DNA sequence: TCTTGAACCTCTAGTTACTAGAGACGTTAG
DNA sequence: CTAACGTCTCTAGTAACTAGAGGTTCAAGA
């Protein structure tokens, strides 16, 4: 049996976060000691590892809840898991595309200002005031 | 003079958001009609455009506050503006790098599952449970 | 001028995924 | 047995909004 601190040490998930996952229904309610402290089994540790890995990959709590439900029903079709993973990939790709457009603009903005001029003719301020100077839609 | 709705229409910033910016000190408190409704000048419209553009480029409210302060002091050095823009660029690049690592993993995960199997041997679920299958640190 | 419907007002609370802190209680090594 | 550390619940705070309730004001047409 593991205390909540032991789980935290083994997974890198902070203690309040583990309690938060419990409240959100991702972690099952564990057994308690006579003094009301949580005690986890190996299954609890494994589940927290699953949650952490999914969070590290950017899945939302809601998506993880669906994935865990599926994990608990081995005979069920994995179509939902596939849909969730694919949606997450699409989301990540959309975010990358947007950030690359921002990068383009920020490179332009940062390179046209050396930080040594006055605010009145600073390219950073000018280009924030005028989207017409931008090269991309963003 | 523009009503808050006119400002919203012209900039694409929603009305509650404009009020929120006012509360955060980004928008100056505008004049009011006898009936307490906000009335903005061209300067207010310009400032909202500045804020929107900066938000679209990912700057935080705090960063924008600093940039606006600088905009209001034309004789001041633009060193701070340069520092803020550079930091924002670094931040965007770090986010892109992380998302590209996630993309690598998600492509692997999504392509090894056709969504037609059972949950018990679904690659999506397996690989979420085991970070050892990952190709990158993330 | 009156009316009516859209726009506006303030205030509270909800969103996401946590994080911090207060004050009290439990556990364990020496 | 006691000190020190771990854990408990609860509240509130974070970023940047968004939604809704309940009430007031504005503007345009009759
Ligand atoms: Zn400059
Ligand atoms: Zn732009
Ligand atoms: Zn599958
Ligand atoms: Zn991994």
The residue-averaged pLDDT of A8-12 equals 97
Residue B107: domain span: 95-133
**B90 domain-assigned:** no
CB B82 within 8 A of CB A114: yes
**B84 domain-assigned:** no
Q: What angle do CA B97, B103, B108 make, to 5 degrees?
A: 140
pTM to 2 decimal places: 0.93
**A116 domain-assigned:** yes
pLDDT of residue B70: 96
pLDDT of residue A65: 96
The closest of B41, B42, B49 to B21, measured between CA atoms, is B49
| pLDDT tens track, chain B, 138 positions | 999 999 999 999 999 999 999 999 999 999 999 999 999 999 999 999 999 999 999 999 999 999 999 999 999 999 999 999 999 999 999 999 999 999 999 999 999 999 999 999 999 999 999 999 999 998
**A89 domain-assigned:** no
Which residue among B29, B47, B76 closes a domain?
B76
Condensed to tens digits (0 to 9), the pLDDT of residues A81-138 reads 999 999 999 999 999 999 999 999 999 999 999 999 999 999 999 999 999 999 999 8
Radius of gyration of chain B (CA): 23
Best mutation site among A45, A50, A66, A92 for testing chain B: the one with the most B CBs within 10 Å? Answer: A92
Quote the number of domains for chain B.
2
Ligand nearest the Cα of residue B136 is 4
pLDDT of residue A34: 97
Condensed to tens digits (0 to 9), the pLDDT of residues A43-88 reads 999 999 999 999 999 999 999 999 999 999 999 999 999 999 999 9
**A25 domain-assigned:** yes
Q: What's the CA–C1' distance between B24 and C9, in Å?
A: 18
A38 is near strand D: CB distance < 7 Å? yes
**A53 domain-assigned:** yes
Do A13 and A63 sit in the same domain of this protein? yes
pLDDT of residue B32: 98
**A81 domain-assigned:** no
pLDDT of residue B98: 97
pLDDT of residue A131: 97
Do A17 and A64 sit in the same domain of this protein? yes
**Beta bridge pairs of residue A77:** B118
**B87 domain-assigned:** no
pLDDT of residue A64: 97
Sign of CA dihedral B81, B87, B90, B95: negative
Distance B132 CA to ligand 3 centre (A): 18
Phi/psi of residue A113, nearest 5 degrees: -130, 125
pLDDT of residue B46: 98
CATH number of B13's domain:
1.10.1660.10
């Amino acid at each position: 049996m593991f205390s909540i601190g032991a789980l935290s040490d083994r997974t890198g998930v902070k203690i309040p976060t583990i309690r938060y996952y419990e409240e959100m229904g991702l972690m099952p309610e564990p057994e308690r000691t006579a003094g009301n402290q949580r005690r986890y089994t190996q299954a609890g540790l494994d589940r927290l590892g699953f949650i952490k890995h999914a969070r590290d990959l950017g899945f939302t709590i809601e998506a993880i809840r669906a994935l865990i439900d599926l994990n608990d029903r081995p005979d069920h079709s994995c179509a939902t898991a596939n849909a969730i993973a694919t949606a997450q990939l699409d989301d990540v790709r959309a975010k990358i595309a947007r950030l690359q457009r921002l990068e383009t603009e920020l490179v332009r903005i940062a390179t046209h200002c050396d930080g040594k001029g006055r605010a009145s003719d600073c390219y950073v301020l000018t280009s924030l005031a005028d989207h017409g100077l931008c090269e991309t839609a963003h």
